[in-house]
Structure 1
Amino acid sequence: MPMARGVKTGIIGAVFAGMLGVAGYGAYNIYSNLDGSSSGTKPAAVAGRDEPLSAKDVADTAADFLTAWSSGDDAKAAELTDSVQTATAALAEYRDKAGISKVTATAEPTDSATGSTATAGPTGAVVSFTVKATISYQGLAPKVWTYGSTLTVGRNTVGDPAVKWAPSVLEPDLKDGLSLVTGLATSPELDLVDRHGKIMTAEQYPGLTDVFTDLRKRYQDAKLGGTPGIETYVTNDAGELVKTLYVVKPGTNAKLKTTLDARIQAAAESAVKKYGQSGVTALDTRDGTILAMAANPPGGTNYALALQPPGSTFKIVTATALMTAPVTKDTPRLTPDSVSQCVDGYAPIGGKPYHNVTPNKQDATLSWDFSRSCNTGFIRLSKYLEPDSLTKTGEKYFGLVGDSRPWYTGTGTTDGSIPGGTGDEMTSEMIGQGRILMNTLNMASVAATVRDGRFHQPSILQDKDLIENRQTWNATPLPGQVRQNLMAMMKLTATNGTAAGLMTGMQQPYGAKTGSAEENKNDLPTGWFTAYSGDVAAAAMVMQGDHGNKSAGPIVADVLRAAR
């Protein structure tokens, strides 16, 4: 025996207790009270189809629609909408294409605070409900998929209460031109595993959130094994997957083998959490493979890959340019023992003055200037370089060529650049300022090149053949004596220079370089630090972290200790 409309309203209508003033097809004034009776004078100009709906109107219409849909009477459900033909086709397609044999749609319980869960929307009263859809697909055991959705009750063209039809009534992700389908997934799910075969997830390692998202997008359809599962998903008119909504039967996941090390990554995650707007990258110095990469806060700007002036960490490249400069009658062979005074306020002829955070030292050498990060000691030596010397040195020995030859690491990265220049631009670039831009991946690679003696193009995938546009680099090894000099100066920095104390107990050999870069005179400098220990190199950056030994240094130290 059919349930009387009044009885049904008594069961479901409590959800909509209280008056809802909602729009029909035009603007109107709310005039009904809680029980639907008139509490004022209706404006004569308002047509019947513009009258606001009472709570009873909303409750009855929503209840009738949900009951008809749940009983399998799609024709009746469609008649309760403002677009009968469109709704009829959509309701039929929902059952047929998605393999849905049964639907139970239930309005959300009444909110005890407001007495209703319906809210006013632009075209009517928005009602929330829960769907339990039973999926029966090709002999598999039926599965119940539960999700939430909403419908809007307004008026149709003749003024009767009706569900305002939209594909999202059936499922919130549906829009015009999209369909709900159950079938074989287009490709297997993809697990990301570290170099030891351990599965890694963004939930475990949030500092890799955007990297993992990018990797899945790039390699979801690669031939990596696994078998696709049976899924319910949204497709577009071309039959392309838009979004997976429910897994009916899991497949066997494919595995993308990364070069990451879960243990080192965990240390990187923990280290960057101590500093806002920070990032770190660690590399295996023997082959350039990425061991860890983390950014804080996760999911926002990836500060491990954000390009910023690298400050004095770039003096590794500058020192290399000075020690490999051609020897002429006017240019001596520069070594760590070459004298270059450290005097605050020094200005090249016609150029701006530079300042130091170190005390003045008249007999300072290149090695002392490097380890104490004396800016003017480096600026004095700019006369021995050409406007493009830093650019050429970065490219020849460190693979730093910017957009002209990207690294293609396997995930989306933007490579640093060394524009070169004259005057103040050149002298600023000598100390990692001016228009030079680097990220922690670049500077970790610089330290790794010093440690190994040769640049290795970084990669995050074990199978480098998967990487689109991957190029082969024939980098020039650092001259033997130059490499020894750089390692000695980085060791001195770690033992008696600006990085003193941070590298204590590190695996031999080890060395470091600190840095800070002023972006805005009103803010603290961005802190930088790069170092190597054993066969691992790392670099970190902390926005407004002040000097690198205070902020980025502890991050790198934590990562390198975890790699022992």
Structure 2
Amino acid sequence: MRSGVKVAVIGGVFAVVVGGVGYGAYNVLDGLGDSGVGGGTDTKATSSEVKTGPVTKDEIADTSKKFLAAWAKGDSLVASELTNNKGDAEPALAGYSESAHVTKAVITPGQATGSKVPYTVKATVSYKGATKSWSYASELTVVRGLTTGKALVDWLPSVIHPDLGRGESLETGESKTASIEAVDRSGKVLTKEKYPSLGGILDELRKKYGQKAGGTIGVETWINSANADGADKTLLTLVKGKPGRVPTTLDANVQAAAESAVKKYEKSSVVAVEPSSGAIRAIANNRADGFDAARLAKVAPGSTMKIVTAAMIIQNGLGSANSPVACPSTVPWEGVTFHNLDDFSMTDGPTLKRAFARSCNTAFIKPILPLGGAKRDTALGNEASQYFGIGRDWQTGIPTWDGEVPPSQGAETAASFIGQGKIQMNPLNMASITATAVNGRFLQPYIVPQSLDNRTFAKASPLPGGVSAQLKEMLHYTATSGEGTATAAMANVGENKGGKTGSAEIDGHATSDSWFTGFSNDLAAAALVQSGGHGGTAAGPVVAEVLRAGP
């Protein structure tokens, strides 16, 4: 935007007009573009007095207006000197015209809140005769320079566009990959406008399968991913390409329920999987940071992991669903004492099923003591991998994390039995674990048909005879009995159902993560609400809403 650019005032609104077209040129601020405006970059001050303390209201107003006006004028040099990182800011601001091909923009600042100044951008993007309007909102923050003491814009790529991250850039041109039309299991078209959680997934499907699906390229504005293996994010389509049809396993009805369910809580994620096939029916997130925790998170799953621990206990002859267990309030393990929630105990001759329903931690640690050192340190990891497919390089059709239960020692071994320690899972992993428990064998989750690219699915051994039936019995009791921690959340789900709650303590977090996994008929789902507290309170209602939308 450096050449042929004029700045205009239209009712107090900053405007940039490229190529001399437009409204007549006016300087928005006195001295704009001369040496009196620049020099704000956070380098050593020439004055002997350097201001300190928070930026003032007047400084916030003055700096933001000068920055936005310089950006509107297309003077990337002056605008960058009003930031605390000129080296990164100048090429990014220059690229707004040179790479993104913005040929006109009107920037309207809003009312400042503290040091943050919001604004809207109404732009026109033009490329080889194609032109399209583009509107969005973003914000900037004014800070005091560490060495200059001047009020400066705290430079982040999101100043230019809210979705722009570090190492990323805007570009307009012929698209790198062909367009796709992703459809659900019944042929319904899936769009990120209707299903916001699918935005990143649709971008990834396009990158991987666009050409295979027979689509053609169009003209677009996109964000170049900072990751060489990542998918670019399309922001604007100037000329549509012919989309290639990509079938998915998603169910539009279940996906809609998932999108609705996660809106109830911040930092919430949910996944639904069909036990009889492994098909992923829904993936949804509600996170301000845009992270797809549903399939990529690596966090402790809490007591939902007791599904795998119960299978391990049964298979090693240490107990069964209806065998008696001890559930004291605490249990020692190599110098560390493990507690139940609020130190409750069960003294009426509980079974493993009832201890599972109450989520008694000690009942899932104490029986494993007789296994012996080396075997008990690896028993849970072996169970998770050999029978539940955890860590087996899932080829779902999109990037996913397939869980990890690494070997452990000492107290970490005991912690792993109740879903703490080094274990790392996400809702996709836990939905698959529940689906395996219900189905009796692991079927790798997938979101596009294997036939689309002939990729190899991960495999695992079937659960030995009777184990699945006992796990289903335990899950059902937990979701239907008076003492089950999942009963309240699952009250409005159909008869053929089961569930398990979990709460995972995370270092540095005042409140535990809320976990819940469950099934109803041929649908299994798992949810995570980070810092959500008890599993039945936050994650439970999310799972229940998704299950009610299933078969």
Shift of 1:353: 3.5
1:552 equivalent in structure 2 = 539
Given that 1:197 and 1:257 are in contact with CA atoms closer than 8 Å, whether structure 2 keeps it comes out as: yes
Cα deviation digits, residues 447-500 of structure 1 (max 9, x gap) = 101111110001011245427xx4344421112211111111111101111111
For the residues of structure 1 that align with 2:107 and 2:508, how far apart are their CA atoms?
56
1:108-507 equivalent positions in 2, closer than 5 A: 187-220=177-210, 222-229=211-218, 250-297=240-287, 300-305=290-295, 306-325=297-316, 334-348=319-333, 350-357=335-342, 358-361=344-347, 363-385=349-371, 386-401=376-391, 405-466=392-453, 470-496=455-481, 497-507=484-494
Q: Distance in 2 between matches of 1:108 and 1:342?
A: 67
Residues 420-465 of structure 1, C-alpha deviations (whole Å, 9 max, x = no match): 3232111111111111111100100011011111100010112454
Residue 228 to residue 130, structure 1, CA distance change in 2 (3 Å): closer
Q: How many Å separate the matches in 2 of 1:450 and 1:28?
A: 65
Q: 1:524 deviation in Å?
A: 1.5
Cα distance change on mapping 1:343 and 1:461 into 2, 3 Å: same
CA distance in 2, matches of 1:472, 1:247: 35
Compute the TM-score of the two structures, normalised by the length of structure 1: 0.66
**CA shift at 1:351, angstroms?**
3.7
For 1:508 and 1:181, locate their aligned partners in 2 and report how far apart those are by CA, in whole Å.
53
Which residue in 1 is equivalent to 2:115? none
In structure 2, the residue matched to 1:169 is none
Q: 1:213 to 1:323 in 2, by over 3 A?
A: same
Q: Which letter maps to 1:15? A: Y
Q: Once the 2 structures are TM-superposed, how far is the Cα of residue 543 of structure 1 from its aligned partner?
A: 0.9
CA distance in 1, matches of 2:270, 2:235: 35
For the 8 Å contact 1:15–1:108, the answer to whether it is kept is no
Distance 1:233 1:263, change over 3 A: closer
* Contact persistence 2:494–2:520 (CA under 8 A): yes
Matched residues in 2 for 1:553 and 1:131: separation? 46
Considering only aligned residues, what root-mean-square deviation do their CA atoms show, in Å? 4.3
Aligned-pair CA distance for 1:134 = 9.4
Partner of 1:260, secondary structure, is coil
Cα distance between partner residues in 1 of 2:198 and 2:348: 47
d(CA) in 1 for partners of 2:521 and 2:35?
A: 72
Q: Identify the residue that residue 31 of structure 2 maps to in structure 1.
A: 20
Q: Which stretches in structure 2 are left out of the alignment for 5+ residues? A: 1-19, 41-68, 74-97, 112-120, 136-160, 225-230
After the TM superposition, which residues 4-43 of structure 1 pair with which residues of structure 2 at under 5 Å, given as runs?
15-16=26-27, 19-23=30-34
Whether contact under 8 Å (2:177, 2:207) holds in the other structure is no
Partner Cα distance (1:529, 1:447) in 2: 10
CA distance in 2, matches of 1:478, 1:412: 27
Tell me the alpha carbon deviations over residues 46-102 of structure 1, each in whole angstroms, 9 at most, x when there is no partner.
xxxxxxxxxxxx9xxx9xxxxxxxxxxxxxxxxxxxxxxxxxxxxxxx9xxxxx9xx
Question: Are residues 285 and 243 of structure 1, via their aligned partners in 2, closer, same or farther at CA, if it must alter by over 3 Å?
Answer: closer
Preserved CA contact (<8 Å) 1:341 1:362:
no
Match of 1:513 among 495, 500, 511: 500
User: Is the CA contact 1:322–1:384 (under 8 Å) kept in the aligned structure 2?
Assistant: no
- Percent identity reads 38
Stretch of structure 1 that moved more, 279-288 or 246-255 = 246-255
The separation in 2 between residues aligned to 1:272 and 1:202, in whole angstroms, is: 16
The alpha-carbon distance between structure 1 residues 300 and 244, as it changes in their structure 2 partners (threshold 3 A), is: closer
State the partner residue of 1:525.
Answer: 512
Taking a change above 3 Å as real, the CA distance of residues 373 and 180 of structure 1, as seen in their structure-2 partners, is closer
Partners of 2:232 and 2:29 lie apart in 1 by 39
Q: Which of the pair has more CA radius of gyration? A: 1
Specify the code of the residue in structure 2 equivalent to 1:551: A
Residues 294 and 427, structure 2, Cα contact 8 Å, conserved in 1: yes
User: Is the alpha carbon distance of 1:374 and 1:23 closer, same or farther for their aligned partners in structure 2, counting shifts above 3 Å?
Assistant: same
**Alpha-carbon offset, residue 181 of structure 1:** 9.5
- Number of corresponding residues: 426
Q: Decide whether the 8 Å contact of 1:343 with 1:362 is kept in 2.
A: no
* Deviating more after overlay: 502-511 vs 474-483: 502-511
Alpha-carbon shift at residue 508 of structure 1 (Å): 4.3
8 Å contact 1:207–1:298 — kept in the other structure? no
Shift of 1:219: 2.6
For the residues of structure 2 that align with 1:558 and 1:224, how far apart are their CA atoms? 34
Q: CA offsets per residue over residues 268-290 of structure 1, 9 Å max, x none?
A: 11111111111100001111111
Contact in 2 for aligned 1:364/1:377 (Cα 8 Å) = no
Relative to the length of structure 2, the TM-score reads: 0.67
The alpha-carbon distance between structure 1 residues 110 and 195, as it changes in their structure 2 partners (threshold 3 A), is closer
Contact 2:188 2:252 in 1 (8 A): yes
